[in-house]
Amino acid sequence: MLEAVQNAFRLPDLRRRLLISIGILIVYRFAAHVPLPGVNREVLDQLFRSPDQNILLSLLNFFSGGALAQFSVMAMGVYPYITASIIMQLLTPIVPQLEELSREGEQGRQQLNRYTYYLTVPLAMLQAIGQATLLSRPIGGLADAVLSNWGFTGDALLPSLTIIISMTAGTMFAMWLGEMLTEQGIGNGVSLIIFAGIVASVPQQMTLLYQRGLNQLLIFTVITMLTVALIVWIQEGQRRIPVQYGKRVRTMRGNRLRILGGQSTYVPLRVNTAGMIPLIFAQSLLILPSTLASYFILRTDFLGSVANFFFTTFSPNSWVYWLFYFLLTVAFTYFYTDVMFRQQNLADTLQKQGGFIPGIRPGRRTEEYLNRVLGRITLVGALFLGFVAVLPYLAGVIFGGGGIGSFNTLIISSTGLLIVVGVVLDTMKQIEAQLLMRNYEGFIR
């Protein structure tokens, strides 16, 4: 592996891409420490260094790459862009105009990307308002709020607008860095930015676990390593569907006949086609009831009682929360896999190219067969994602003395592990492809 790294830096083009990737990530990490005005730093440090963090803040800090803990201009990271991308992916098979654009090749893809960027701006502004509003109230048992001068009236109007504009601009800047990283560097830019933030938070997570005891640090280190091995095994798992292409006879000059096609290949169906998206969907949906209930929990009337019920029931310390987390993750895995598979339209593509699955008639029968196979292997992927989702709770129950509903149960959160492993594998495969093209040995083979 060390020799492969040396070979990568010997190639001028690959060395340039690697250095550009490292430089862009350094720029992003510097920008993640540019502070916003009006932030109480002492309260912010106490809030994020607490052993039992707010689950919503932990989730938002995770997707910002740790920038929310600094409450910098990058406090939202690329999460609004991720949300906009997911919305566009779900709307594409539903809206005829968007579906038509998706079939127009590169030009249509660029237009869909522009729509995604346009949608990112209002989503970023709304999320900036939501995060600032959340931090403008005392939470986590603290007496003071992180933002004391927040609102849209009086003297607080101008500072509030400054925060909203700065956070939105930070998100757009992070998106631009991600695009530059994808075009000029190695790997997927957005994923690498999130990856850098997750890795940067590892020392703090290990410190928090060490404060609970050296034995817990060792136990959760072993659990994290075993989880990584399991994720790699599932992520690389696939079912290969054999495909045969029929022979075609073509007349050449001089009345010569040339036989084309006839080769055999396969269609790989991945066990986990959905990736980490179901975890994001399920978590975003589960934090909604407790977040809304937190606005009414201090009331003493019937509405306050209902809010208190939802706030307690959907708290990360409740087993009901983790049960729904598991079930929603499984359901969203099937939903998102079906959406992605329908967009590929494999049955029609094979029929147009003259390919067929041995023993299966082309067209509708092929589509039914592929859906049936995909449904069986997706069950494994869905149960795997559900297990990864509730792993922090299970680890807390078994080793932590209770259901610890925070992201600090593991060194890296379960969703974070999926991102880290996926990004590392994807980046290594891209570097390996560049090395193999130049007759060098890669990382994996």
Asked whether residue 355 is domain-assigned, the answer is yes
End-to-end CA distance of the chain, in Å?
10
Where among 154, 181, 201 does a domain terminate?
201
**Under a CB-based contact definition with an 8 Å cutoff, are residues 173 and 46 in contact?**
no
C-alpha separations of 97 from 94, 103, 149, 235 in Å: 9, 10, 45, 33
Asked whether residue 284 is domain-assigned, the answer is yes
- Same-domain pairing of 214 and 193: no
Asked whether residue 434 is domain-assigned, the answer is no
- Same-domain pairing of 50 and 137: yes
- Same-domain pairing of 223 and 148: no
- Same-domain pairing of 152 and 232: no
Q: How far is it, in rounded angstroms, from Cα 53 to Cα 305? A: 24
Helical (H) or strand (E) element with 77: none
pTM score: 0.73
Q: Is 63 helix (H, G, I), strand (E, B) or coil?
A: helix
HSE at residue 119, side-chain half, CA atoms within 13 A, is 18
Q: Which of 205-214, 254-263, 304-313 has the lowest mean pLDDT?
A: 254-263
- For residue 320, what is the domain's CATH number? 1.10.3370.10
pLDDT tens for residues 178-229?
888 888 888 778 878 878 877 777 777 777 777 777 777 787 788 788 888 8
Asked whether residue 419 is domain-assigned, the answer is no
- Same-domain pairing of 210 and 196: no
pLDDT tens for residues 36-75?
888 888 888 777 766 555 666 766 676 666 677 778 888 8
Q: How far is it, in rounded angstroms, from Cα 231 to Cα 272? A: 10
Find the farthest-apart pair of alpha carbons in the chain and give their distance in angstroms, rounded: 94
- Same-domain pairing of 272 and 173: no
Where among 186, 201, 216 does a domain terminate?
201
Q: Which two tokens stand for residue 240?
A: 């290969």
Question: How many residues belong to the chain?
Answer: 445
Q: How far is it, in rounded angstroms, from Cα 195 to Cα 274? A: 18
- Same-domain pairing of 106 and 165: yes
Domains in the chain, number: 2
Q: How far is it, in rounded angstroms, from Cα 394 to Cα 390? A: 6
Q: Which domain holds residue 167?
A: 1-201
- Same-domain pairing of 192 and 292: no
**Residue in the structure block whose two tokens are 């566009």:** 88
